[in-house]
Amino acid sequence: MSKVVSVSRSRAHVFSEPVVDVIEIVEGLGVDGDVHSGVTVKHRSRVAKDPTQPNLRQVHLIHSELFAELHQQGFEVAAGDLGENITTYGIALLELPAGTHLRIGEKVRLEVTGLRNSCIQFDRFQKGLMKAVLDRDNDGGLIRKTGVMAIVVTGGEVRTGDRIEAELPPQPWRQLEVV
């Protein structure tokens, strides 16, 4: 069963977000009380380029299986450390096509918009971490492992233990790209 392992939010632009008991997801905005919530972009690098662009990064999800992989490489990473709002278990987030809807708990519905891009902050958090969260496929293509971004279709509360179900969009599927 796919489920929520942890939830996090922060009112400030910080790399790691503190774990909380519950987050309120607001339709069309993101996580209530989170600095990245809004209709337009809130991530500083994107605001610098064009503050009017739509916020396709309202909610950030990371699979907890990444933490186990990083632990085997000597890194200490826990829920919230990489800035995600929702830490998941049992769902292959990186394999989902763009437009997938994630039903979380009783009411919440998110639409996956794309991949999170890794940045220099990973190495500031732990030296060598940026390289560890990147990989190459058999064709030499870059694999970004730091989770997916989503917009909020239907709001509600999300807490640890909530079930996650994925509803794939109609084919042809679009591969996830950095948003």
Mean pLDDT of 13-28: 96
The pLDDT tens digits for 40-94 are 998 888 888 898 999 999 999 999 999 999 999 999 999 999 999 999 999 999 9
Q: What is the pLDDT of residue 75?
A: 97
Q: What is the pLDDT of residue 120?
A: 87
Q: What is the pLDDT of residue 136?
A: 94
Q: What is the pLDDT of residue 43?
A: 80
- Does this model's pTM top 0.85? My answer is yes
Comparing CA positions, the residue from 132, 151, 129 lying closest to residue 143 is 132
CB 11 within 8 A of CB 149: no
The pLDDT tens digits for 124-147 are 999 999 999 999 999 999 999 999
Q: What is the pLDDT of residue 97?
A: 98
Tabulate helix, strand, coil % of the chain (nearest 5): 15, 35, 50
Q: What is the pLDDT of residue 61?
A: 98
In the predicted model, what is the mean pLDDT of the chain? 96
